[in-house]
Structure 1
Amino acid sequence: MNRKTLVLSAVVGLLAPVLVACGGSESGGDGGKTIVVGTTDQFVATKDAPAPFDPAHAYETGIWNVMRQSTQSLVHVPRGGGLPVPDAASTCNFTDKENESYRCTLRSGLEFADGTKVTADDVKYSIQRVLDIKDDNGPAGLLDNIDTMETKGEGEIVFHLKTPDATFPYKLATPAAGIVPKDKYQPKKLRDGFEMDGSGPYTMKAEVKNEQVVKFTFTKNPNYQGDVKFANDKVELRSFPTAEAMGTALAKGDIDLMARAMTPGQIQQMQVSPNKDVNLVEMPGLEIRYLGFNTDDPSVKNKAVRQALAQAIDRSQLVSKVYGQTAEPLYSLIPTSIAGHTNSFFNKYGESSKAKAQNILKSAGIQTPVKLTLNYTKDHYGSITEDEFKNLSAQLNATGLFSTTVQGTEWSKFRPAQKKGEYAVYGLGWFPDFPDPDNFVAPFFGKDNFLNTPYVSNDIRNTLIPQSRVAADRNQASKTFEQIQDIVANDVPVVPLWQGKQYVAARSDITGTEWAINSSSDLQLWELGRGKK
């Protein structure tokens, strides 16, 4: 998710036993009192993104975490993670050994929030619409392995895939496959504005000022049928301009829980001086941060420049100085906690070394210092991103091999410019659409990839990615992913930097925080309840 372009988040991946709710929608706890959640995510309608919550356009974690509350897909990833389970569907499964045909049967009596019946034709329409619109910034790539969709009566749909794909159920669990009503979403045109309609757990009302949402109100959908059980009747999600403002609101009791994104300083303060009224929970994270390159730009077209950057950067120093204990160095796009991870960049380059970086450049005939601008977004990942890029720039300049400057840009301008190839070097983050190594590879190097990168590895795109998707047992694909990571470390279309730990901070009377997020950092507001102190 640009999706998946994200932050050191307080909405986190929780690696825990899978406890699956078995359908139903009973409220629990003190469901009558609204629970208020804070976020620093900004929700803005712009010329480049006029339809923030349209499934055909939306593709970043903050947006998806709003959409998951009101849109419903055939399956969803349960509580603590694991394999997707039926949600709008009553059953879903592959019908062949090759993982090329996937059949789902809808729940009986399934309805949209307005009471309109949901049928298999609605499912087909919704997914075909995403594929037809194929928005430049959208998630169509997640679904482009669908060859045909066949409906049988009102309650059954079969997906016939172009090639085997054991990860397909995970893709159906994303908001990209959210089911929407035909009368609210035109077949080949995005829906402008902030409205959402679906059959998900809640209905949503957005409070908008200056084309920006300041508050969402989620109210329990009385027509919902699915896997979710409710611990509340209503939740508010409030957007704050800074993490500091959000922290102040939590301390005053104006909000009940802090979601993304807390600063390392806030986290450290809570660890050193705990507040008896606030609980801080640390969990393993799946967020990664990396440098990307426009490999057609003359300044970085020679891979020796990119290799020298990978050799010169001191990840441990970066993490220690900027993020402290809230992150750890990363030497692959695939995080350490995901099966198939290997430290390919460390295996090739080892520790940071000026001498080795100098030899790489000298052998390629590259004159030094190499002049580069390091571009970052100054309002999407929090203010600390500026500190990160100043640190990177200082590191590189200290070698004498590079002469770098940093440039911060608002996300609304940064992302379109990056997609158009206007930046030679840029910083982005990633949370997975689903917790499988495929989702740390295909969105970067597959066809119509998220980065819109000119870099192409035919081995990765045409052989290794399809080969990795055949294995139903994902551990059997580990060797293939190791090959992919080694190719990336050699070609350096990206440089992985760090992997984030993740945190939730909540008032002590809030229950269900351990289930409020799952292993892909999906926000599950229905899990939050209010107990007694």
Structure 2
Amino acid sequence: MNRKTLVLPVVIGLLAPVLAGCGDSDGGSGGDAIVVGTTDQYIATKDAPAPLDPAFAYDAGTWNVLRQVVQNLMYIPRGGGKPLPDAASECSFTDRANESYRCTLREGLKFSNGDPVTAEDVKYSIQRVLDIDDPSGIAALVNTIDTMETDGDSRIIFHLKSSDATFPYKLTTPPAGILSAKDYPAKKFRNGFDLTGSGPYTMKTELKDDTVVKAVFTKNPNYKGAVKPQNDKVEIRPYKDADSMGEALESGDIDVMTRAMSPEQVRQLIEEPKDDIQLTEMPGLEIRYLGFDTEAPTVKEKAVRQAMAYTIDRGQLINKVYAGMAEPLYSLIPSSIATHTNPFFNKYGDGDTAKAAALLQEAGITTPVKLTLNYTTDHYGSATAKEFETLRDQLNGSKLFDITIKGTEWSVFRPKEVKREYAAYGMGWFPDFPDPDTYTSSFLDKGNFLSSPYDNPRLRKDLLPQSRKEADRSAATKTFGEIQNIVAEDVPFLPLWQGKQYVAARTEITGVEWAVNSSAELHLWELRRGSATS
């Protein structure tokens, strides 16, 4: 086995591109479809009948499907860095206050059904997300838009409610994807798994019991954009767990194993390399944390949340569950982004039960505090159950808490979390785009994706808007520092760890190191059977 490690330097909130892009001259490798395994599940349920609708989908797995088919005005280039035009030929702010943004579409854009793509389609698609305003909070990604106007078929101008230097990044996300009004109703979801777009691929799915068992992506002959597909066809096959996905790679049923590999699989491939399988390690911006419904009776008192912050020992957690694949996190903003600080470490340290006990006693809270920690069994990998068993044991071992844990499938867990049926729960976060704003506004602003009731006026009225004003993101460092300190004081969320990313592939597959970027975006167009050409 060859092991690759892709290292990209991180500057202020951005991943800088350091390797030159490569593209195949004929735009595809031909041959059999490249088969990619994943433990992400795509399921239509009563609570979530439209899992792939861009006005609803808000998790890394579904976004990784959407990005292959639905095109955006902008995209994050290979290696990271600032957004570049994709469906657009050019985009830019038209004022110094970063409140007006104009894009011009490429000539000859078409949806996969042959219909032309116009500026009116862009406006319709984004307005649809705003009008539906799903409780998942996905509309918050584009809610800084005040009005949109079109100038002919090829130009659209976005007028923003306030300064937003991050707006170009938001235009790279699926809720800003360009849809056809023929297939996507203005006021309701498109149920099921059909997708229509103008992106690099078209998609067909095979279903069993309203669950995707295979998604086949075929190169879209109508695509005009910035990326150059290195293959003609790719399949995504969901597996129930990492073990069954690993067995499929070993047997040759799949060519690539993506998220989420288990820690045991990564460790085994490192310690017992195989000649025909290559493990690639890539930088990651994924974080894991505990979230709290700050109005729920069991955790409403800030002292309870602070005592949990004192008690949990991140180092022990990582050593027991994620050795080598994660590192402790003491802020919502990961350490690989330069605005990161360590306020949770500075205030609480790790495993300080004496201070936790003193705090609860001073607050007049009777111990042990009885509480259920909820987690999803099938969304973040097989190690999640062991992680929550460890957290339970740490908290109960302090004698200050009486913790039970409950695991639920993602298709049930996520709707319950959005409806605030959990007082305390575990979640992961893959950034919407590589900027510190996605780790702050997404959690703390009005309409946040967790439906969190936590509302700190200083954050929402002053600091969050201020943090978005600075086009030079380094100028916002002080503001982000204050935001992180307030979160550590109030503990509406309790950060636990940030992780690395790994992909395993058969050695005949190239482009693997580019197929997943630091934000966990899957770029199927980078994969090729055989050598790539620059």
TM-score interval w.r.t. the shorter chain? over 0.9
Pick closer, same or farther for the CA change 1:16–1:258 going to 2, 3 Å.
farther
Helix, strand or coil at the partner of 1:429: strand
* 2:11 matched residue in structure 1: none
- Give 1:532 shift: 6.1
For this pair of structures, how many residues does the alignment match?
Answer: 522
Does structure 1 conserve the Cα–Cα contact (< 8 Å) formed by 2:16 and 2:81?
no
Does structure 2 conserve the Cα–Cα contact (< 8 Å) formed by 1:516 and 1:526?
yes
1:467-493 Cα offsets, whole Å, 9 max, x none, are: 001100111111111100000000000
- Give 1:521 shift: 1.4
* 1:198 matched residue in structure 2: 197
Instruction: List structure 1 runs of 4+ shifted beyond 6 angstroms.
Output: none
How far, CA to CA, are the matches of 1:21 and 1:113 in structure 2? Answer: 26
- Give 1:118 shift: 0.6
* 2:416 matched residue in structure 1: 417
Pick closer, same or farther for the CA change 1:360–1:138 going to 2, 3 Å.
closer
Does structure 1 conserve the Cα–Cα contact (< 8 Å) formed by 2:430 and 2:519?
yes
1:317-347 Cα offsets, whole Å, 9 max, x none, are: 0000011111111100100001210001001
AA aligned opposite 2:36? V
How far, CA to CA, are the matches of 2:345 and 2:432 in structure 1? Answer: 26
- Give 1:32 shift: 2.5
1:4-50 Cα offsets, whole Å, 9 max, x none, are: xxxxxx9x99656355769x985456323211111010000011111
* 1:400 matched residue in structure 2: 399
Pick closer, same or farther for the CA change 1:253–1:67 going to 2, 3 Å.
same
AA aligned opposite 2:74? V
1:228-274 Cα offsets, whole Å, 9 max, x none, are: 11211110111111111110111111111101110000000000000
- Give 1:414 shift: 1.5
AA aligned opposite 2:406? Q
Helix, strand or coil at the partner of 1:115: coil
- Give 1:208 shift: 0.8
AA aligned opposite 1:17? P
How far, CA to CA, are the matches of 1:129 and 1:415 in structure 2? Answer: 22
AA aligned opposite 2:141? L
Helix, strand or coil at the partner of 1:519: coil
* 2:56 matched residue in structure 1: 57
How far, CA to CA, are the matches of 1:488 and 1:16 in structure 2? Answer: 28
1:200-228 Cα offsets, whole Å, 9 max, x none, are: 00000011111000111100000100001
* 1:445 matched residue in structure 2: 444
* 1:98 matched residue in structure 2: 97
How far, CA to CA, are the matches of 1:88 and 1:13 in structure 2? Answer: 29
AA aligned opposite 2:216? T
Does structure 1 conserve the Cα–Cα contact (< 8 Å) formed by 2:163 and 2:465?
yes
Pick closer, same or farther for the CA change 1:181–1:532 going to 2, 3 Å.
closer
How far, CA to CA, are the matches of 2:525 and 2:118 in structure 1? Answer: 25
* 1:17 matched residue in structure 2: 17
* 2:528 matched residue in structure 1: 529
AA aligned opposite 1:367? T
* 2:307 matched residue in structure 1: 308
Helix, strand or coil at the partner of 2:498: strand
Pick closer, same or farther for the CA change 1:29–1:187 going to 2, 3 Å.
closer
Q: Which moved more, 1:382-391 or 1:334-343?
A: 382-391
* 2:186 matched residue in structure 1: 187
How far, CA to CA, are the matches of 2:189 and 2:418 in structure 1? Answer: 20
AA aligned opposite 1:104? C
Residues 108-257 of structure 1 mapped to structure 2, 5 A cutoff: 108-137=107-136, 139-257=138-256
Does structure 2 conserve the Cα–Cα contact (< 8 Å) formed by 1:145 and 1:161?
yes
Does structure 2 conserve the Cα–Cα contact (< 8 Å) formed by 1:89 and 1:105?
yes
* 1:374 matched residue in structure 2: 373
* 2:12 matched residue in structure 1: none
1:387-428 Cα offsets, whole Å, 9 max, x none, are: 111111111111111111111112222222222222111111
* 2:341 matched residue in structure 1: 342
How far, CA to CA, are the matches of 2:181 and 2:18 in structure 1? Answer: 34
How far, CA to CA, are the matches of 2:389 and 2:460 in structure 1? Answer: 34
- Give 1:453 shift: 1.1
Helix, strand or coil at the partner of 2:122: helix
Pick closer, same or farther for the CA change 1:28–1:159 going to 2, 3 Å.
closer
1:289-323 Cα offsets, whole Å, 9 max, x none, are: 10111111111111011000000000000000011
Helix, strand or coil at the partner of 2:502: strand
Does structure 1 conserve the Cα–Cα contact (< 8 Å) formed by 2:56 and 2:136?
yes
* 1:460 matched residue in structure 2: 459
Helix, strand or coil at the partner of 2:218: strand
AA aligned opposite 1:168? F
Does structure 1 conserve the Cα–Cα contact (< 8 Å) formed by 2:290 and 2:426?
yes
Pick closer, same or farther for the CA change 1:13–1:293 going to 2, 3 Å.
farther
1:299 paired with 2:298, answer yes
Does structure 2 conserve the Cα–Cα contact (< 8 Å) formed by 1:29 and 1:530?
no
How far, CA to CA, are the matches of 1:512 and 1:142 in structure 2? Answer: 30
Helix, strand or coil at the partner of 1:270: helix
Does structure 2 conserve the Cα–Cα contact (< 8 Å) formed by 1:13 and 1:520?
no
Pick closer, same or farther for the CA change 1:62–1:148 going to 2, 3 Å.
same
Helix, strand or coil at the partner of 2:213: strand
Residues 497-512 of structure 1 mapped to structure 2, 5 A cutoff: 497-512=496-511
How far, CA to CA, are the matches of 1:532 and 1:129 in structure 2? Answer: 42
- Give 1:189 shift: 1.2
AA aligned opposite 2:183? K
How far, CA to CA, are the matches of 2:347 and 2:286 in structure 1? Answer: 23
- Give 1:519 shift: 2.5
How far, CA to CA, are the matches of 2:282 and 2:438 in structure 1? Answer: 20
How far, CA to CA, are the matches of 1:516 and 1:166 in structure 2? Answer: 27
How far, CA to CA, are the matches of 2:19 and 2:161 in structure 1? Answer: 33
Pick closer, same or farther for the CA change 1:505–1:352 going to 2, 3 Å.
same
How far, CA to CA, are the matches of 2:227 and 2:233 in structure 1? Answer: 14
How far, CA to CA, are the matches of 1:370 and 1:136 in structure 2? Answer: 30
How far, CA to CA, are the matches of 1:235 and 1:417 in structure 2? Answer: 33
1:46-100 Cα offsets, whole Å, 9 max, x none, are: 1111111111111111000000000001000011111110000000011111100
Does structure 2 conserve the Cα–Cα contact (< 8 Å) formed by 1:13 and 1:286?
no
Aligned alpha-carbon RMSD (Å):
1.7
Does structure 1 conserve the Cα–Cα contact (< 8 Å) formed by 2:137 and 2:447?
no
Helix, strand or coil at the partner of 1:43: coil
* 2:75 matched residue in structure 1: 76
How far, CA to CA, are the matches of 2:29 and 2:179 in structure 1? Answer: 31
Does structure 2 conserve the Cα–Cα contact (< 8 Å) formed by 1:27 and 1:233?
no
How far, CA to CA, are the matches of 2:204 and 2:494 in structure 1? Answer: 40
- Give 1:510 shift: 0.6
AA aligned opposite 1:425? A
* 1:286 matched residue in structure 2: 285
* 1:5 matched residue in structure 2: none
Does structure 2 conserve the Cα–Cα contact (< 8 Å) formed by 1:339 and 1:436?
no
How far, CA to CA, are the matches of 1:26 and 1:39 in structure 2? Answer: 29
* 1:3 matched residue in structure 2: none
**What runs of 5+ residues in structure 1 fail to find an aligned partner?**
1-9
Does structure 1 conserve the Cα–Cα contact (< 8 Å) formed by 2:219 and 2:233?
yes
- Give 1:283 shift: 1.7
Pick closer, same or farther for the CA change 1:20–1:101 going to 2, 3 Å.
farther
- Give 1:137 shift: 2.0
